[in-house]
Amino acid sequence: GESVGLHLPTLSVQEGDNSIINCAYSNSASDYFIWYKQESGKGPQFIIDIRSNMDKRQGQRVTVLLNKTVKHLSLQIAATQPGDSAVYFCADWSDGGNQFYFGTGTSLTVIP
Amino acid sequence: DAGITQSPRHKVTETGTPVTLRCHQTENHRYMYWYRQDPGHGLRLIHYSYGVKDTDKGEVSDGYSVSRSKTEDFLLTLESATSSQTSVYFCAISGVGHTGGTEAFFGQGTRLTVV
């Protein structure tokens, strides 16, 4: 999981631009990673996942990159839209741990 | 949406009273989790279950207990509610794929206020 901060990191982007949200994890045994999107008043929603035997995975308008050397994960959103405004956070899982570890998240604001 | 239902969705209770939150799933997933979400802390694991009657503590388990008597239900109990337990509580479920963990699906959350 990530270290916990007191303040939620924020990212503002213009509509139509690409967004990159970053996440660092600490457990070198983590072998499965997920990005979630959480809109205000709702539960987290699955966006995309990646396993440790991959370094890149693409979905619809989203790409996740995994760098196991530096324990870093990123989420790229192409052509960001106002509906993408939300809090995004990553989670990691290790088979030996039986649980997910979540970061504190990044608040993305899309400027029309 | 994955078949997860949390009840109640909102609750206000008094300090010192017991409170039970319910999570019900229709996916037959093995793992069920209870998290709390507070500003600046993200999602923190309270307890989780890896099967019927099999539960374990998470990082913030003090003051909470859980029970799982059926695959589909996971109950979270606050034995004696305190103001520090005012939070939004999320239930999540996940299966185990052939290569390990699979995505966790979340419920809509329960907003609990302890006054």
Residue of A nearest to B98 (CA): A95
Confidence (pLDDT) at A5: 33
At B96, the pLDDT band (50, 70, 90 cuts) reads low
Give residue-wise pLDDT tens across range A21-44.
Answer: 999 988 888 888 999 999 988 999
pLDDT over threshold 70, residue B89:
yes
Q: Is A45 on the interface with B (CB under 8 A)?
A: yes
- When scoring B43, B44, B57 by the number of chain A Cβ atoms within 10 A, the one with the most, hence best to mutate, is B43
**Mean pLDDT of the residues in chain B:** 91
Q: What stretch of H or E contains B97? A: strand B87-97
Give the separation between CA A85 and CA B99, rounded to whole angstroms: 32
Nearest to B33 by CA among B108, B100, B90: B90
CB-based contacts of B97, cutoff 8 Å, min separation 6: none
**Nearest residue in chain B measured CA to CA from A106:** B42
Q: pLDDT above 70 covers what percent of chain B? A: 93
Contact between A84 and A112 (Cβ < 8 Å): no
Question: Which pLDDT tens digit goes with each residue over B50-59?
Answer: 899 999 999 8
Kindly determine whether residue B104 and residue A49, on different chains, have CB atoms separated by under 8 Å. no
A72 part of contact set with chain B, CB < 8 Å: no
Cα separation values, A93 from A44, B5, B65, B96, Å? 16, 24, 23, 11
- The reported pLDDT for the residue numbered A4 is 34
Residue A75, strand partner residues: A21, A64
Report the length, in residues, of chain A.
112
Q: Which two tokens stand for residue A50?
A: 């990646």
- Mean pLDDT of each 10-residue bin along chain A, 112 residues long: 52 96 88 92 91 93 95 95 94 76 89 94
Is residue A91 within 8 Å of residue A79, measured between CB atoms? Answer: no
Give pLDDT, residue B7.
Answer: 97
Chain A partners within 8 Å of B50 (Cβ): 98
How big is the A-B interface in CB pairs under 8 Å? Answer: 66
- Distance from A4 to chain B by nearest Cα, in Å? 6
* pLDDT tens digits for range B64-78: 999 999 999 999 999
**Phi, psi (degrees; rounded to nearest 5) at B84:** -70, -10
> What number of CA atoms fall less than 13 Å from residue A102's CA on the CB side?
31
Closest by Cα among A96, A6, A87, A100 to A40: A87
Say whether residue B48 is in contact with chain A using an 8 A CB cutoff: yes
What residues 53-112 of chain B have any CB closer than 8 A to a CB of chain A? Answer: 56, 58, 90, 92, 94, 99-109
Instruction: Please report the pLDDT score of residue A2 as a whole number.
Output: 42
Give me the DSSP letters along B36-96: EEETTTEEEEEEEEEETTEEEE-TT-TTEEEEEEETTEEEEEESS--GGG-EEEEEEEEEE
Question: CA-to-CA distance for A93 and B44, rounded, in angstroms?
Answer: 14
